[in-house]
Structure formats: C-alpha cells, structure tokens
Amino acid sequence: MTRGRIREKLHRSHLYSFSCLRPSTMEAEGLNSVHGSRTVHCNEPQLHQKKPLNYCSNYTSTTKYNIVTFFPKAIFEQFRRVANVYFLLAAALSLTAISPFSAVSMIAPLAFVVGLSMAKEALEDSRRFVQDMKVNLRKVSVHKGNGVFGYRPWHKIRVGDVVKVEKDQFFPADLLLLSSTYEDGICYVETMNLDGETNLKIKRSLEVTLTLDDDESFRDFTGIIHCEDPNPSLYTFVGNLDYDRQVFNLDPAQILLRDSKLRNTAYVYGVVIFTGHDSKVMQNATKSPSKRSGIEKKMDYVIYILFTLLVLISVISSIGFAVKTKYQVPKWWYLQPRSTDNIFNPEKPGLTGFYHLITALILYGYLIPISLYVSIEVVKVLQATFMNQDIHMYDEETGNPAQARTSNLNEELGQVDTILSDKTGTLTCNQMDFLKCSIAGTAYGMRSSEVELAAAKQMAIEEEADLSNFPMPVDRQHGSTKNVRRGSEIELETVITSNHGNDQKPTIKGFSFEDSRLMNGNWLKEPNVDVHKLFFRILAICQSAIPELNGDTGNFTYEAESPDEGAFLVAAREFGFEFCKRTQSSVIIRERYPNPRQPVEREYKILNILEFTSKRKRMSVIVKDEEGNILLLCKGADSIIFERLSRNGRIYEEATTRHLNEYGEAGLRTLALAYRKLDESEYATWNDEFQKAKTSIGGDREAMLERVSDMMERELILIGATAVEDKLQKGVPQCIDKLAQAGLKIWILTGDKMETAINIGFACSLLRQGMKQICITTMNSDTLVKDGKEAVKEHILNQLTNASQMIKLDQDPHAAFALIIDGKTLTYILKDEMKHQFLGLAVDCASVICCRVSPKQKAMVTRLVKEGTGKTTLAVGDGANDVGMIQEADIGVGISGVEGMQAVMASDFSIAQFRFLERLLVVHGHWCYKRIAQMVCYFFYKNIAFGLTLFYFEAFAAFSGQSIYDDWYMLLFNVILTSLPVISLGVFEQDVSSEVCLQFPALYQQGPRNLFFDWYRILGWMGNGVYSSLVIFFLNIIIFYDQAFRAGGQTADMATVGTTMFTCIIWAVNCQIALTMSHFTWIQHLFVWGSIVTWYLFLILYGMTSPLISGNAYQLLVEVLGPAPIYWAATLLVTIACNLPYFAHISFQKCFNPMDHHVIQEIKYYKKDIEDQRMWTRERSKARQDTKIGFTARVEAKIRHLRGRLQKKHSNMVAS
C-alpha cells in the first residue's frame, strides 16, 4: 500500500493562520541567522559517530546510579550524615590499641546500617531503571537502507535516522517532520506530556519534502540540517535544511518533540535531530529539589546536642584519667606495667589524657543512635506502602491508587499549614459540557449548573437545620451558636451532589443542554431565526477540529484542539448543524433543518483561520458560503469581543452582558460570538496585506500579523454567547470543608480569568455570600502608559495598605475577607518589597485566589508563602504548568488526571482525585507525624539511658576506659534488641482510628503546632533518659555492692553487674515503649516482649559457646544469674523505678490536663460514643477549628443571619 494506500484529501495550504505559517526558501546568506553548531546528515546516521559530531545516543536514564557509580556514590551519600562519619572514625579507631571495644562490635553495626540504607537506595533506583527500560525498549520503524524500514528499539536510534511513526505512537526523539498521510504534510500532535495541554497541535512539513511519502522514496534521500544546539525551549527552533540544492528555513511548526504523541494521522516520516538527553523534553527534566521534613531538620540539632554532651563527658573523662594517671597511678604499684607507653604514662599526663579522649569518644558513642537513620528509613518505607495500599484512596474510575513517590516527607504531611491548589483539572474535571447559551438577547438552557444545584440543595439543608434547631428561649442561649444544633449534627456528607443517583446524567458527552425552545428544530419558531441559524453555524464552522465517524453509533466524534471546542461541535450537531467533513480548503456542514428527513450538506470555503491564543483571546475564520458571501466568524472572551463591536452590532449587548454575568455566577465558562460581512474588494485588500505579513522574514513578523489581523477583527456584530461547565471533581466541597475544619488555609492559583475563579471559589465554599472581597488590580492600560510603573506600584501599595487597615479596624468577630488578585498585579508585587505586605494581608484573609497567574508566578507565590510564613506548604496540581509550584513547595502532590503525568512525575505524592487529599493529610499525615515524632524521641531516650551508664561506670573505674558490658551486648543493643519495637511503633501506632481522625479534624492541628516534637517534649524525653540511666546504674550498684550474691557468699563481679544492668535496660526501655503505645496489634506484642525473650535466649546461647568466645559470660545466666533471686528482684525493682515517673506523668495529664486524643480514647474505651450519643456529638462539634471557609462556615453564617432576624422580630414583639 505504499502508492495505492488511501490518503486523506485534506489540504490546509490556505488555512494556516499567522501562528502556523509556510516557510519560505532562503538564500545562502540567510544561514547566518542560525545560532548553533549542530549539523545533521539526513539518512546518513553513520557520519555522526565520529568526531567532531559524535552525538549522544537515544538511551535515556533517570536513575541516580549505575553499575560503576553505585558503590562510590552511595557510600558518599551515606557518609554525608555527620553521625555516620563519626561511627566510621570510631570503627577505624577500633582497630587500634586505644579502642575500648573489639573491632567487630564497632564495624558490624556500622556495616549493617550503611548496608541496609544502600540496599534501600538500590531498590528505589532499580525501580527507576525498570521504568527507563520500558521507554528505551519501545519499538519504532526506522529506515535501514534501500527503501526498507524495520523496527528498532528507541535506544538504538541515532541522529540522522529516518523514522516512521504511526498513529497513537510517541515520537522517540526530536524529529524534523518530512511528510505525512495528509497531502500537504500536516499532522496532529498531542503534547500532554510536555505542557499539560490536552488540545491537539497542528504540525506541517516543508513543501519540498512532501514527495517523500512512502518507504521507497527514501532510498536515495539525503540532506543536511544546520540548527541550534540542544536547549530546553519547547516553543522555539532555529535551523535550516539544505536539500535539493536549496536552503529552506525551519521553524517550530516542523519539529516533532520527543514524548509527544501522533494523533489523527495514519503515520508520518521524520528525520532525527536531537536524541536522548539532547532532546528538548530531557533538557527540561530538572532534578527534583532535595526536600527534608521539619522533624528531620530538628533531629540534626538534637544530634548536635548529643554530640556536645558526648564531647563534654569525654573531656571530663579524659581530664579525670589524666589526673588519676599523674597523681594516683604511681601509688598503684600492683597495676604498674614493666614498660609504660604514652597511654599510661604518669610523666606525660597531657598526652595520656589526649589518648584517653579518643577512647572516651568511642566508648560513649552509644549516646548517638547509630540505627536511628536506618530505622526511620525502614519505617517511612513501610508507612508509604500502607498509603499506597489504602483502598479509600483508590480511584475506581481510573484505576489509580495513591502513591507515595518519596518516603522522606511522610511526617511532613501531618504539619501542613497552607495548601496552594491549581483549579482546572485539580478542583475541576477539565470536562466541558455545553449547558446554556444566549442568542439574540434571549437566554436558553433550563438545566442548572453544579454550582447552582449544590447551592440550592445546601441552602435547603441549611434552612431545615436552622429552623428545626433554633433555640426558642433566646435569653438562655447567650447568643451562642453552638447550642443551635440538636443531637443530629449537620454533616456535610449528607449534601446531595450532582453525582447523586437522583440526578439525571447527560447521555451525550459534552452536551448537558435542556431547553425545548431550541431542541428538535423548535428554534425555527423563535423570533430572529436568521440570528439563531448564524449562531449555530459559527459553532460548527469556527473551529479547527477533525471529524471521525464512529462506526458503532453512526455519529461523528471530534478531535478538537480544546475541550470547549469539542463541546461546541457536539452542541452544533444536536441543534441540527453537524460538522461532517473537512476537504482541501473547506468544511462541510450537514444541516437537518428545516427538513429533518432531507438534510442539506453546505460547503463553506475556508479562506483564512486566525487561531485562538492566550494573548489574542479569540479565534476567527473567514469563509465564503455557497452564495458567494464572505463572512468573518469570531468567538472569544466577552471583554475582547465587546470592544470590537460596531455601533449597529450592539443591539443585544445589554441583554447578553446580563446573561454572561448570570452564567459567571453559576460557575460557567463563557465566550461571546460575533460576525462581520465583508466585501470582495475589502477582503482582497486585506488579504494582500496579510500575505505580505506572512511571507515577511524578520523578528517583527508576529507583530505585523497581529496588527493586520486586528484590522479585520473590527466592526463586529454580536449575536450571542455560550456557557460551558467545567465540572467540579467529586467530593471537592466536602474535602475543602474538612480541611478547613482541620485548620488548614487554602489558596487557589489558576490561569483562568478572575470571574471564573471566583465562581469556582463559591462552588467550593472558599467564598460565600457575606464574605468581603478584596480585589487587588492594576490600573488600566491608558493610565499605565501615561504614568509609568512607579505610579502602578504606588496604586497597588495603596490598595494593600487600605485593605490591611480595613481588616484591622473591622470589629465584627465573624467578619471574613477574601483576597483576589490577578497575575498582572502579582508581577509588580513579587518583584518588590510589597510582597511582604501582600503576604501579611493574605495571611489575614480567610481565602486567597490568584487569577491569570503563569507557571513561574505559581512557583514564586509558593516560595513567598513558604519562606515568608516559615510554615509547611503543600502544592497540588495536575498539569505541567504546576510542576514549578509542586517542586517549590515543602510537599508536592500531583493529581493523576487528564493533563499528562508531568505533575505526578515531579511530585512527592500522587493521588487520583483532589478529595483524597483529605485522607492523605487528616489520617495518614496525622498518624505519620505522631509516629515519627514519638519514635525519634524514644530513640534519644533509650540511647541516653544506655550510654550514660558507661560514663558512670568510668568514674568508678578510675576513668580507665573499661566497659562494664560485653562487646556483643553493645553490638546487639541498637541492631536487634531494641530496634524492632521502635519500628513497630513507627509503623502501627494509632492514637485514634482513621474514622475518628475524619470525625475530629481538629486533631490534625497537633502536627502544625508541633506538640509532639517541640523542645519541651524532646528535652523531657532526654531528661527521662538521664533519670533512667541514674536509676539503672546506681540502684544496681547499691544492690550488688558489698553484698553476697550467690549462695556460697560470693559477691558479684563486673560481668554479673554489667549483665544485670543490661537486663534492666532491656526491660526498662521495652516497658517504656509499651507504655507509649496507644494501639496494640499482635505484631507489636511480638516485637516488644519478643525482644526481651530474645535477650534471655541470647544469654543462654552465648553462654553455651566456648569460653574463648563468650569469655566472662560463659554459662552466666544458667549457672550464675538464673539461680540468684537478687538478679530477678533487681530487674523488677529497677524496671518499675525507671517507668514510674512516666506512668505518673501520663496519669496526671489524662486526669487533669488531657489532650484531645486522650479524651477521645477514654470515650471510645468506655463506649460512650455508642451509649451517650449526645456527648459524642458535642465533642465532635468542639473538634473543629474556627474557620471562615467551607460549607460548615456557610451554615454557621446562615444560622447567625437567621438568629439576628428572629431576635430582631422578638424584640419588636416585646416592644409592642
């Protein structure tokens, strides 16, 4: 089928707008404009494998390591931690004579901890490697020579290769488009993975390469491309093609970028320009910033404190040893070696003290928890696993679960203060439905939007709740709104959303319109029929979509450049104007009316297309109908269209403006439709100017085209407006309400216009009636030109100052303010000292909405909030334009929606729907914060309790550096005997269940207020460790000192006392963690009590080994300690004494100053939530942060309003 294949007969030569132009042939001297040294020999890839070319391969890797670099880089990563460096030095010194421990006891724990961390790194990197190989092993058809194509893996593609990419395939590299199955070389490209946009882009080849349209034509094809060097700019390209003895200019319209997808085109041919990491998408791939949680940062300071303590007691020990050596060692004749060295030299006490300082630093090193880092990493990985497997965060529609893409920030989820959210695709579905329209000043569309529907239903519930719960004896209530509710609490979950089964779902995707006046041809009975007809024709003609016939339904589906455009075409079809075909230079519209049985196909010749851009905010097509009339059909933003209307084109302006405002209040996206009739001569004159601008070469070509287009898009006649609905995602209002009750602040950062963002704010209950809106805007363009930037800055500063003053002077405790600002104003604020004043104002407001913001501004606002408040920020978005914001925030959450995976790939956590953010933060965030905080505090406690006993014994042993514990005891303490219980605490601990977390959202505030890892609690745990160490050491010394230990009257030796002390430590720290836990599973019981049992089993087994191995511990438990009652009595007494203060403290706190979760635990334990529903409801109503946003705030505002009216009415009745 190389020559005989069916080719689409679509020719777009005359359709290209000024943003999509045909390149022109350049003269040789024009090559100087190409800034870059890259030369590509087309169809001759072998020439690029030699210097000076030698371009990189198409193999891409996002891994952190490879086989060669893994060991050195991973080792470097591990020893960036100060604690690990310390233990490495200690392990090295353990090989010398000054070490108090054997080399094995120092090296083995370090090797285990570092090895486990490296294994975790290897596992995570191997997953990235697997993902990379899935991409690298994709297949694409490549020209192998002599006109023969064959499949080859992506990673074997070379610069200069000619590739054949088929429909719905991704482009394997950056390609120059040579030809396509369309006769004039256009193709449609989906760039979702690059820029997050779902609309299709049109690309087109050079005319000179159109003949390269089958495999055989590449037998003798050659050419040379001179172009720019690799760079990250997705929207620019400078280069030229030397082909057939001519040089042709290249621009971005001919470039197909890697990771974009071919759509609506059978196949295309292209030549590879940039491969692998030279491609533009890989040039844009930035490394995610290194993020650390607040607990981890604070943990470093605690480590520094412990280091200071370590150095302090080491210095004390070395001074003591130097003094002992100088003044007392000479008198101890029985200890004098025959030949002294510098370690025990009374004549050099200073040098002796220095050597002992090193010994002491090693000996007391157990103050620093060596297994802390690896235990935290293990715990966080397991926590992330539970998040990933949470069925309540699984989206059945898409099949996407929640995913913790990094486990380093789990506890940070429980400390979020501010959420910065995108709107489109995050709060909304990015699914457009045609809902309402205004034609000739008449509004059509009876169906309510989600905003209207939710508002009506919520208000009905509010009214019912308010009236039924209003307390009649006003004077008894003291004006309190808390007593307004009865036993049955108003729950947001009872609000019926548009997804309720009673709501009729639209049967046609993209079309939710209901109005019998327009359906089934009834519009023919309306006045101004001609205006209606033209309205529908604009919907069907003013577009750039491609129709595809669905064989199953017999209807046409449309591949449009935007969801709005697709909704318009579906609406036009339902109104009887079906876009069914696109030919070389025309579109065919099948019109069913006035005779539905005999539809008429009308052809409209497309003369020019002036495409929609974010700058123009409008799209126009110039067409010639079958009668020879030339029409300009235009659709765009109402603010743009209205200023271009002619005097006689404003007949319907007033009515249409009123309808547009109503649509905006209903949360709908609006466009205005207009037209203009052109004379032949007028059009010919304009077209000459337009063609001159198109063919001009220079930097001002775009400006010229814009100016010429603007000349034509004037004197328009308004005929109506459209309103489409971008639906809210399921559960968004409920989620926002719960997050607000948890005390979180929520900002919206969106690129949409202010009206749309405000409407969505009302829909989400971020805004409500009665909330005072503060809009910060710049002056109009005329004033800006006249007075300059300084005047604009002063104007903005005055607005900020006045707004701040208004908030301070407001005496109403229930007053709520919303700050609304646009991107143009932010441009001035973010570059000036005003940003701190802006932040201060924003913090004082209940809601903040930033409109028309660019991706860079999103990131800058996020940075401002993060650095200005010093509190934890979370950014959530779904598109490539949200990547900067996601990476800038302390925590980035990506929504795996319809805008590609760029946001997800850049995020720390990904969820399928915004509503899952509630559970991610309020449940998992709360749990993880408390688990990690308690776990770290316990680590410091147990290591201080253990490490200081070594120091105390030193004082009793003349600071000789002698350890009271066997080396194997020391080795097993952190690695085995106390590691598993603390891991179980970090993984399974729950102060309350997930259901209770959601019912009592105020519990979340324990994280932002940092109640479980503040200095008071940290120092308290460290003090508990000091106390325990004193009790363990001195109580055992008192018990065993000068007393018979065995039946034969023998006193206890060092091995006996040391083993007893170690037994007490194991019991004390494991009982302490058991007291700390609120939630027990069989796993925790196994780990806690199993650790104690493991200690006794070790003593038995270790004692059974040869005395050459076990030394003084030979048969110690079986023959010495076991038979001695004093050993068991000491263990019991010391364990109780160590844990008694903590037990007394927690008992006192729960009785006299309980925390929120203590109260809930008591209620659940005594089942009061079942037996006393009134108390349970009362406690739930208390467990909400005072908030001025969300549905709950709306209900309370409404209650206050009704209370005021009734009180006023009551007062009037009494007065009368």
Q: Rounded to an integer, what distance in angstroms lies between the CA atom of residue 44 and that of residue 51?
A: 15
Q: Rounded to an integer, what distance in angstroms lies between the CA atom of residue 247 and that of residue 998?
A: 67
Q: Which of 161, 422, 466, 882 is an active site residue?
A: 422
Q: Rounded to an integer, what distance in angstroms lies between the CA atom of residue 723 and that of residue 445?
A: 9
Please confirm, yes or no, whether 530 is among the known catalytic residues: no
Q: Rounded to an integer, what distance in angstroms lies between the CA atom of residue 901 and that of residue 915?
A: 19
- CA dihedral (796, 797, 800, 801) positive or negative: negative
Count of alpha carbons within 13 angstroms of residue 653, beta-carbon side = 15
> Would you report the helix, strand and coil content of the chain in percent, each value rounded to 5?
50, 15, 30
Q: Rounded to an integer, what distance in angstroms lies between the CA atom of residue 752 and that of residue 760?
A: 10
| CA angle centred on 220, ends 218 and 223, rounded to 5° | 85
197 token code pair: 């946009």
Distance set, CA 453 to CA 431, 504, 599, 824 (Å): 18, 12, 37, 33
Contact between 751 and 760 under an 8 Å Cβ cutoff? The reply is: no
For residue 1153, which amino acid is it? Answer: N
Pairing of strands 817-822, 772-776: parallel
DSSP string, 528-568: -HHHHHHHHHHHHHS---EEEE-TTT--EEEE-SSHHHHHH
For residue 853, which amino acid is it? Answer: V
Q: Rounded to an integer, what distance in angstroms lies between the CA atom of residue 371 and that of residue 825?
A: 51
* Residue in this structure with the two tokens 């805004």, named with its chain if needed: 767
Contacting residues for 908 by C-beta, under 8 A, at least 6 apart: 291, 404, 405, 406, 408, 409, 891, 892, 893
* Residue in this structure with the two tokens 């438990």, named with its chain if needed: 1117
Taking Cα atoms as reference points, which of 532, 157, 509, 735 lies closest to residue 149?
A: 157
Tell me whether residue 236 is exposed, middle or buried, using C-beta atoms within 10 angstroms of its C-beta: 0 to 12, 13 to 18, 19 or more: exposed
Instruction: Give CA torsion, residues 604, 610, 612, 615, to 10 deg.
Output: -160
Taking Cα atoms as reference points, which of 197, 246, 332, 337 lies closest to residue 23?
A: 246
Taking Cα atoms as reference points, which of 361, 396, 426 lies closest to residue 99?
A: 361
Cα 401 → chain centroid: 15
Count of alpha carbons within 13 angstroms of residue 630, beta-carbon side = 13
* Residue in this structure with the two tokens 């076991």, named with its chain if needed: 1122
DSSP state of 347: T
Query: Taking every pair of C-alpha atoms in the chain, what is the biggest distance, in angstroms?
Result: 126
Contacting residues for 837 by C-beta, under 8 A, at least 6 apart: 797, 800, 801, 804
Q: Rounded to an integer, what distance in angstroms lies between the CA atom of residue 138 and that of residue 1062?
A: 59
Contact between 624 and 578 under an 8 Å Cβ cutoff? The reply is: no
- CA dihedral (152, 153, 159, 165) positive or negative: positive
Q: Rounded to an integer, what distance in angstroms lies between the CA atom of residue 223 and that of residue 247?
A: 10
DSSP helix/strand/coil, 788: coil
Based on its alpha-carbon atoms, the radius of gyration of the chain, rounded to whole angstroms, reads 38
* Residue in this structure with the two tokens 């003044």, named with its chain if needed: 327
1070 token code pair: 């494991």
Distance set, CA 506 to CA 510, 512, 569 (Å): 8, 5, 16
571 token code pair: 């609406």
Residues recognised as catalytic: 422
